[in-house]
């Protein structure tokens, strides 16, 4: 490791600057404000991309199966490489990892924009781009999740994770609406182009962050930085196991409801790209409300009790989506689904990061990433296959109930989780 890399490694795991008092605790840290601002701009671009990509696939193929397949390709690399990404995050400076992954994603997005704007885009182009972006995400997500803990003190971790979730979901309020308009006016290529440009904001923020040295600077973890050691650490903790099993259940049977939204919009309700954008924005709006609520009361939130309630209720609302036949009613259900989804995921993330020892942080967050996104290809493929044969409502109504049942079974195995603060 070079002297420069070693120096950055020494600084990356020490407490950040003393925060200024703020209603949203984590927002008092300069480093976190820089991170959040750059990430938000980048996320707006990504949310536009996330709307344009499945819509393009549906236009090219008119097949719910291929919509699910492309979604699967976008997350399949996380399944195979997320655990390796966690090892990398525990061995190397997290900021440098993020600069590399974000730069790689920018190049891929701009390449997809080029073929789309040239009018020569094909399903093959889309599948290759989705797979390569998934590869970047496999190393980006564990590093990014672990990096948040370097930007704030532990007491403000809930606030930081909730604000990060709020920024993600805020981008999905703005981005999909803009993407829907751009698709109808000038086509999907401009969505991909704006996404590529937006990465520059996050990369610039990462460069501007100052990680201050402390008394323990230079002390690196001496644990075995291997995948096996990380998995063994998770397996030994019953509460961690339960939290990850719940996230895995939601990943397969709950989160893929997003994959079917363009099918519901176009094939069930007979709507266009603008209304599809509103649907994504409705789910994002509910999530923002939930995330801001958590960010405000983060230090006082009974986290164990919160996750034991929010997780099963999320599955119930996914099931109700399958019965919606009215566009206004669907928007209401999507808002509530997004609200309980973020209560579940943000609280789970906070509990895991509060429990984990620093030397295992990257690997534990890689297991979380695997459970969150790495298993989603299974759910996306199942959702697309069932929707192609029996319609999206059949999958949503059954999968939501299965999700809730699995959550309740997991919770029974760890009764102490409810009392965890």
Domains of the chain: 3-212+234-419 (1.20.1250.20)
Residue 97 has pLDDT above 60, yes or no: yes
Tell me what pLDDT residue 106 has. 96
Q: Which residue spans within 64-147 are E strands per DSSP?
A: none
Tens digit of each residue's pLDDT (9 = 90 or more) over 197-209? 999 999 999 999 9
Task: Name the least confident of 33-42, 69-78, 296-305.
Answer: 296-305
Instruction: Supply the angle between the helices 303-321 and 238-253 in degrees, to the nearest 10.
Output: 20
| Residue 71 pLDDT > 50 | yes
Q: What pLDDT, on a 0 to 100 scale, did the predictor assign at position 19?
A: 53
Report the pLDDT value the prediction gives residue 158, as an integer from 0 to 100: 79
Q: Which is more confident, 302 or 128?
A: 128
pLDDT band at 18 (very low <50, low <70, confident <90, very high): low
For the record, the structure tokens of 408 come out as 């309740």
Q: How far apart are CA 146 and CA 163, in angstroms?
A: 15
The values of phi and psi at residue 219, to 5°, are -85, 110
pLDDT single digits (tens) 359-383: 888 888 888 888 887 787 788 788 8
Question: Which DSSP category does 170 fall into?
Answer: H
The stretch 297-311 carries a mean pLDDT of: 77
* Residue 59 vs residues 116, 123, 187, 263, 266: alpha-carbon distances, Å: 13, 10, 11, 11, 10
Over residues 43-66, the pLDDT tens digits come to 999 989 988 998 899 888 888 788
Residue 270 neighbours by CB under 8 Å, 6+ apart: none
168 vs 41: CA distance, rounded Å? 10
Cβ burial 320-347 (10 Å sphere, 16+ → b, else e): bbbebeeeeebbebbbbbbbbbbbbbbb
Instruction: Assess whether pLDDT exceeds 80 at residue 295.
Output: no
Residue 14: what pLDDT?
A: 42
User: Average pLDDT in the 29-54 region?
Assistant: 91
Residue located via tokens 């099963």? 312
* pLDDT for 300: 65
Put simply, whether the predicted model's pTM sits higher than 0.85 gets the answer no
**Residue range 322-330: mean pLDDT, rounded:** 87
What's the CA gap between 262 and 271, in Å, rounded? 9
- 218 has a pLDDT exceeding 60: no
Determine the Cα angle at 250 with ends 293 and 49, to 5°: 75
3-class SS string, 290-358: HHHHHHHCHHHCCHHHHHHHHHHHHHHHHHHHCCCCCHHHHHHHHHHHHHHHHHHHHHHHHHHHHHCCH
Which pLDDT band holds residue 411 (cuts at 50, 70, 90)? confident
Query: Which position has the token pair 């119930």?
Result: 316
Reported as a pLDDT band with limits 50, 70 and 90, residue 76 is confident
Answer positive or negative: Cα dihedral of 73, 167, 276, 321.
positive
Q: How many helices (H) and strands (E) does the chain have?
A: 16, 0
Taking alpha carbons only, the member of 324, 312, 344 closest to residue 282 is 324
Q: Which of 34, 338, 26, 355 is nearest to 162 (CA)?
A: 26
Signed CA dihedral, 203, 362, 83, 5: sign only: positive
Is 50 exceeded by the pLDDT of residue 11?
A: no
Lowest average pLDDT, out of 129-143, 228-242, 326-340, goes to: 228-242
Q: Rank 99-108, 229-238, 297-306 by mean pLDDT and report only the highest.
A: 99-108
Judge whether residue 416 has pLDDT over 70: yes
Cα separation of 62 and 306, whole Å?
41
pLDDT in tens, 132-187: 999 999 999 889 888 988 888 877 887 888 888 888 878 877 877 788 888 888 88
173 vs 417: CA distance, rounded Å: 33
**Do 133 and 109 contact (CB within 8 A), yes or no?**
yes
Per-residue pLDDT at 419: 61
Q: What percentage of the chain has pLDDT greater than the value 90?
A: 29
CA distance 418 to 139: 32
For residue 196, what pLDDT is reported?
Answer: 95
pLDDT, position 149 = 84
What is the per-residue pLDDT for 114? Answer: 95
User: DSSP label at 413?
Assistant: T
- In the three-class reduction of DSSP (H, G, I as helix; E, B as strand; rest coil), residue 14 is classed as coil
pLDDT of residue 316: 94
């Amino acid at each position: 490791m070079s002297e420069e890399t070693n120096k950055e490694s020494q600084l990356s795991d020490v407490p950040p600057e003393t925060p200024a008092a703020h209603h949203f605790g984590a927002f008092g840290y300069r480093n976190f404000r820089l991170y959040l601002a750059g990430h938000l701009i980048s996320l707006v671009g990504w949310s536009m991309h996330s709307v344009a990509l499945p819509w393009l696939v549906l236009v090219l193929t008119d097949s719910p199966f291929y919509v699910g397949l492309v979604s699967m390709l976008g997350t399949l690399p996380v399944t195979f490489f997320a655990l390796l990404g966690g090892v990398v995050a525990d061995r190397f400076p997290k900021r440098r990892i993020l600069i590399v992954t974000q730069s790689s994603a920018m190049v891929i997005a701009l390449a997809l924009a080029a073929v789309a704007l040239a009018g020569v885009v094909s399903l093959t182009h889309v599948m290759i781009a989705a797979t390569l972006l998934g590869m970047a995400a496999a190393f980006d997500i564990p590093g990014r999740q672990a990096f948040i803990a370097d930007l704030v003190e532990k007491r403000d971790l809930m606030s930081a994770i909730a604000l990060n979730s709020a920024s993600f979901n805020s981008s999905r309020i703005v981005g999909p609406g803009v993407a829907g308009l751009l698709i109808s006016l000038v086509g999907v290529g401009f969505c991909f182009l704006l996404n590529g440009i937006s990465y520059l904001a996050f990369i610039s923020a990462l460069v501007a962050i100052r990680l201050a040295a402390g008394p323990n600077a230079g002390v690196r973890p001496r644990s075995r930085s291997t995948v096996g050691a990380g998995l063994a650490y998770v397996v030994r903790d019953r509460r961690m196991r339960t939290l990850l099993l719940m996230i895995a259940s939601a990943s397969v049977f709950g989160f893929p409801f997003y994959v079917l939204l363009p099918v519901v919009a176009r094939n069930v309700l007979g709507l266009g790209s603008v209304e599809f954008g509103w649907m994504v924005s409705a789910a994002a709006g509910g999530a923002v409300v939930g995330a801001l609520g958590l960010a405000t009361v983060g230090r006082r939130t009974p986290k164990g009790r919160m996750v034991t309630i929010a997780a099963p209720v999320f599955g119930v609302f996914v099931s109700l989506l399958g019965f919606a036949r009215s566009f206004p009613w669907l928007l209401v259900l999507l808002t509530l689904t997004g609200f309980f989804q973020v209560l579940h995921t943000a609280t789970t993330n906070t509990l895991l990061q509060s429990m984990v020892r620093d030397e295992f942080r990257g690997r534990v967050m890689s297991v979380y990433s695997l459970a969150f996104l790495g298993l989603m290809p299974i759910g996306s493929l199942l959702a697309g296959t069932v929707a192609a044969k029996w319609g999206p409502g059949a999958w949503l109504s059954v999968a939501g109930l299965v999700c809730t049942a699995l959550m309740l079974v997991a919770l029974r195995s760890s009764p102490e989780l409810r009392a965890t603060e």
